[in-house]
């Protein structure tokens, strides 16, 4: 039988700055076959792929802003496109001479030797969600910058603010009527117009995010965590993506840079601050969420207070942020809500997500024909708080485990932290009676 001729595999390294693309093609022996340089445009990349690439080629690029767009263009023309982690690539092949030409050849040679550290390629939906969350964060930073400029105008003129929140309704009205020089008035009016415009964009972006994630059960699962609202849940879900790609929860925390740095040599080992590698925005929102955990009555709040007492508040915040990632990984892996969530808080957060996504309010419970409650007119307000299982069932989430289903070690942990009674309470419907303050009559006020 006649043997078919096989096309030799070539390895292509591509360095992708903002405006140009530098490529280097090597053969199976590592010999440079071709070098090219061109503009970083869709038409130029397609022309390069049609003229210079073969179906058996393997291409390597580094992760950067426009990487996934380039990958989408090249994929139909080659056997494989590999995206590498630039931090790990630098650690493997650091050189004193660094140019685009050298970088392209290094990528090709590392791919040929199978030394290239790869990154996970997110699906199109995850990429879109990442772009939306990143844009929302950028708009929020713009609002912060505008507010700081207004504060600076007042501070330069030694004008104190009479309101706790300068940008509340009363604060903005005060700013518009404030007596100030012409330059300061022009700056304040300009910044207030910009602020209203950017805040409208933030609201629109949050509406788009809510519509995109309202049907995602993973986002609703994450929102059962204490301190994790819709923004934190959306950002964390967009960054983590498929949790199966992480070997365990510790690798997920390391991916977000929330683990201590380590320097070890011989018998000496030093653990320093967290690495701060990975997605900065996700790490930031997790730290913000951790601040809200300090008063939580469950085990996570007890952990925060214990670490804060021993190591200080700031260390407790970072440790709790890492703990949130670890718990989130286990929840997504097991498809289970947070077992120690406060039902009323979870219901409020999920209702806010539903309202933002659909704009429809739930009908009020008191309708025509239904008799008034027995406590009506007694000066007492009766409030029924659903159990955690009832809240999860209402929003189509998996039911949480009951205390009877907890492992023995988990029950001992709850007893040691003094949170077992709280966990037992949230698993049953509660009735809260509040005394309503009655307005004093004229005759009562004279007494």
Task: Give the pLDDT score at 204.
Answer: 95
Task: Give the pLDDT score at 447.
Answer: 43
Q: What is the 3-state secondary structure (H, E, C) of the chain?
A: CCCCCCCCCCEEEEECCCCEEEEEEECCCCCEEEEEEEECCHHHHHHHHHHHCCCCCEEEEECCCCHHHHHHHHHHHCCEEEEECHHHHHHHCCCCCCCHHHHHHHHHHHHHCCCCCECCCCCHHHHHHHHHHHHHHHHHHHHHHHHHHHHHHHHHCCCCCCCCCCCCHHHHHHHHHCCCCHHHHHHHHHHHHHHHHHHHHHHHHHHHHHHHHCCCHHHHHHCCCCCCCHHHHHHHHHHHCCHHHCCCHHHHHHHCCCCEEEEEECCEEEEEEECCCCCHHHHHHHHHHHHCCCCCCCHHHHHHHHHHHHHCHHHHHHHHHHHHHHHHHHHHHHCCCCCCCCHHHHHHHHHHHHHHHHCCCCCCCCCCCCCCCCCCCCCEEEEEECCHHHHHHHCCCCCCCCHHHCCHHHHHHHHHHCCHHHHHHHCCCEEEEEECCCCCCHHHHHC
Task: Give the pLDDT score at 272.
Answer: 86
pTM score? 0.86
Q: Which of 300, 282, 280, 299 is nearest to 291 (CA)?
A: 300
Please compute Rg for the chain using Cα positions: 29
Q: Which of 419, 415, 418, 388 is nearest to 401 (CA)?
A: 388
Distance from chain centroid for Cα 346:
18
Task: Give the pLDDT score at 1.
Answer: 45
Average pLDDT, the chain: 89
Task: Give the pLDDT score at 439.
Answer: 54
Token pair belonging to 282: 């996700």
Residues of the chain with confidence (pLDDT) below 70: 1-6, 91-97, 363-380, 434-447
What does the alpha-carbon distance between residue 296 and residue 226 come to, in Å, rounded to a whole number? 7
The Cα-based distances of 371 to 311, 357, 365, 381 in angstroms read: 56, 33, 11, 16
What does the alpha-carbon distance between residue 184 and residue 139 come to, in Å, rounded to a whole number? 24
**Any idea what the Cα angle at residue 435 is, between residues 433 and 438, rounded to 5°?**
150
Task: Give the pLDDT score at 438.
Answer: 55
Task: Give the pLDDT score at 433.
Answer: 72
């Amino acid at each position: 039988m006649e043997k078919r001729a096989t096309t030799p595999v070539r390895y292509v390294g591509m360095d992708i700055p903002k405006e140009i693309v530098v490529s280097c093609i090597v053969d199976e022996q590592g010999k440079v076959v071709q070098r090219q340089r061109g503009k970083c445009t869709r038409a130029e990349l397609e022309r390069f792929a049609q003229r210079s690439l073969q179906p058996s080629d393997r291409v390597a690029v580094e992760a950067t802003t426009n990487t996934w767009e380039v990958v989408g263009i090249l994929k139909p023309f080659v056997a494989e496109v590999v995206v590498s982690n630039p931090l790990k690539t630098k650690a493997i092949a650091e050189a004193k001479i660094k140019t685009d030409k050298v970088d392209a050849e290094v990528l090709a040679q590392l791919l040929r030797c199978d030394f290239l550290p790869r990154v996970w390629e997110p699906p199109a939906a995850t990429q879109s969600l990442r772009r939306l969350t990143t844009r929302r964060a950028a708009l929020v930073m713009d609002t912060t910058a505008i507010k700081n400029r207004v504060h600076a105008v007042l501070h330069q003129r030694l004008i104190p603010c009479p309101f706790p929140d300068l940008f509340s309704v009363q604060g903005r009205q005060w700013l518009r009527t404030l007596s100030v020089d012409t330059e300061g008035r022009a700056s304040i009016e300009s910044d207030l117009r910009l602020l209203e415009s950017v805040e409208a964009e933030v609201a629109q972006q949050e509406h788009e995010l809510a519509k995109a994630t309202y049907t995602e059960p993973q986002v609703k699962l994450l929102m059962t965590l204490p301190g994790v609202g819709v923004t934190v849940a959306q950002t964390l879900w967009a960054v983590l993506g498929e949790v199966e790609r992480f070997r365990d929860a510790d690798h997920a925390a390391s991916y977000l840079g929330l683990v201590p740095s380590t320097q070890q040599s011989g018998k000496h080992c030093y653990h320093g601050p967290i690495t701060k590698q990975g997605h900065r925005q996700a790490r930031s929102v997790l730290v913000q969420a951790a601040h809200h955990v300090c008063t939580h009555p469950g085990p996570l709040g007890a952990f925060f207070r214990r670490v804060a007492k021993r190591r200080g508040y700031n260390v407790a915040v970072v440790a709790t942020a890492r703990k949130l990632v670890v718990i989130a990984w286990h929840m997504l892996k097991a498809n289970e809500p947070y077992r120690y969530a406060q039902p009323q808080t979870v219901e409020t957060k999920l209702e806010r997500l539903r309202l933002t996504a659909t704009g429809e309010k739930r009908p009020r419970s008191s309708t025509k024909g239904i008799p008034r409650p027995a406590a009506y007119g007694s000066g007492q307000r009766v409030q029924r708080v659903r159990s955690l299982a009832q809240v999860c069932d209402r929003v189509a989430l998996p039911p949480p485990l009951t205390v009877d289903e907890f492992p023995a070690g988990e029950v001992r942990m709850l007893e040691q932290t003094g949170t077992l009674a709280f966990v037992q309470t949230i698993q049953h419907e509660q009735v809260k009676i509040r005394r309503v303050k009655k307005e004093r009559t004229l005759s009562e006020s004279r007494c």
